[in-house]
Amino acid sequence: MNNRTSFALLALLTAVGTLTMTSAYAEHHEGGEHMEDHSDIPQACVGCSMEDAKDAAAKMLRDDLPISVWTDKAEYGHNDMIKVTGQVANVASGYPVTVSVVSPLNSIVTIDQVSVTQDGTFETTLNTAGAMWKYDGTYTIKVNYGSAEKSNKAKVELTGGIGFTPTYNQPTQTKQCGGNELSASGQCVPFTISGGMVTGASLNTDDNSIVIMISSENEGTLTVTPTKTVLDGIFMVLVDGEEWDDVEIVANKVTVMFPPGAEQIEIIGTYVIPEFGTIAAMILAVAIISIIAVSAKSRLSIVPRY
């Protein structure tokens, strides 16, 4: 094949390819069954500023959200008006938007219901003057439109008021008792048990006693040795509420032989009466009254008679 023939063949192939592409392009744009719908794609904002582009993007976002809310500013004083504006995607006739405000203390500041216009927008104003708004910090404006799915929130900062510093109570640490000690109202009491197990214990300050809960299927023995700062002057033991005689008491050491199935053992004691206690005060009062009575009688006896 000479050069002349080769050039002719190349020209023919180029012409055929051009006709094929032109026909396909025409078929794609002229045939209704092949045309794509691009109506949902927003038109390009030719010549728009950055602010216009941001506004357009924000509007698209609001249209997709069930409910949106925003404020005219991000920071306010404690005597300002907060303009709250919002929009719902689908208007339900007769349903208002519930607007609530939560303070930095996590307490409700105000609750209101706002009507929704036909175009889906709503608007209200919040007055920051008042005792409920006195603390500085972040206030959360919550909006709800009938269900949890249709809710949103906006946050604003209040300054120039009272600074709030949360206080935390230091948790009290429970005293850790050893393996051979039972914990009774924060006190550790040495004990040993056979034939059962201790399930709990507490101090009964009304009766000056230690109440010990046990679990037992067989008869057994419980020995308890409380310190005098916990219980002193032990003189009686109750087993399941009944006075029990099968007991050995040596100073502050108590050994109780309990029957099968026993559930509660109460060890009762008494504290030492102070030297100038209630009884001593009563005796002193009686003595003073007696002295006064005797003195009065003596004065009457020496009055001269006429």
Is there a domain that residue 68 lies in? yes
C-beta separation of 161 from 135 below 8 A: yes
Q: Is residue 207 part of a domain?
A: yes
What single DSSP character describes residue 167?
Answer: -
Residue 305 lies in a domain: no
**Beta bridge partner(s), residue 162:** 135
Q: Which two tokens stand for residue 229?
A: 């700062």
Q: Are residues 224 and 144 in the same domain?
A: no
Q: Residue 69 falls within a domain, yes or no?
A: yes
- 75-76/151-158 β-pairing: parallel
17 pLDDT above the threshold of 80? no
Is the per-residue pLDDT at 16 higher than 70? no
Amino acid letter, 267: I
CA 48 from chain centre, in angstroms, equals 49
pLDDT in tens, 86-139: 999 899 888 999 999 999 988 889 999 999 999 999 999 999 998 899 999 999
In order, the DSSP letters of 225-283 are ---TTT-----EEEETTEE--SEEEETTEEEEEEPTT--EEEEE--PPPPTT-HHHHHH
For residues 135 and 67, membership in a common domain is answered with yes
The length of the chain, given as a count of residues: 306
Contact 42, 60 (CB under 8 A): yes
Report pLDDT digits (tens) over 152-192: 999 999 999 888 666 656 655 666 788 788 888 778 889 99
Give the rounded distance of the alpha carbon of 206 from its chain centre: 35
Do 211 and 134 lie in one domain? The reply is: no
pLDDT tens, residue by residue, 232-286: 888 899 999 999 999 999 988 999 999 999 999 999 987 533 333 444 455 555 5
Number of structural domains, the chain? 2
Residues 136 and 212 in one domain: no
Q: How far is 197 from 163, CA to CA, in rounded Å? A: 55
Q: How many CB atoms lie within 10 A of CB 126?
A: 20
Is residue 172 assigned to a domain? no
Pairing of strands 242-243, 236-239: antiparallel
The confidence band for 26, taking pLDDT boundaries of 50, 70 and 90, is very low
Task: For residues 55 and 105, state if they share a domain.
Answer: yes
Distances (CA, A) of 26 to 30, 57, 247: 6, 35, 111
The amino acid at 87: Q
- The answer to whether residue 122 sits within a structural domain is yes
- CATH code at position 76: 2.60.40.1930
Overall pTM > 0.75: no
**Is 74 in the same domain as 148?**
yes
160 neighbors 133 (Cβ within 8 angstroms): no
What domain range is 232 assigned to?
Answer: 181-268
Mean pLDDT, rounded, of the chain: 77
CA distances from 146 to 14, 76, 120 (A): 66, 29, 14
Q: Is there a single domain that holds both residue 79 and residue 144? A: yes
Residue 12, pLDDT > 60, answer: no
Residue 83, SS3 per DSSP? strand
Residue 200 located in a structural domain? yes
Containing H/E element for 102? strand 97-102
Closest CA to 25 of 39, 40, 35: 35
Query: Is residue 14 included in any domain, yes or no?
Result: no
In terms of domains, do 154 and 200 share one? Answer: no
With 0-12 / 13-18 / 19 or more C-beta atoms within 10 angstroms meaning exposed / middle / buried, residue 290 is exposed
Q: Does 94 lie in the same domain as 140?
A: yes
149 and 231 fall within a common domain = no
Alpha carbon distance 151, 33 (integer Å): 42
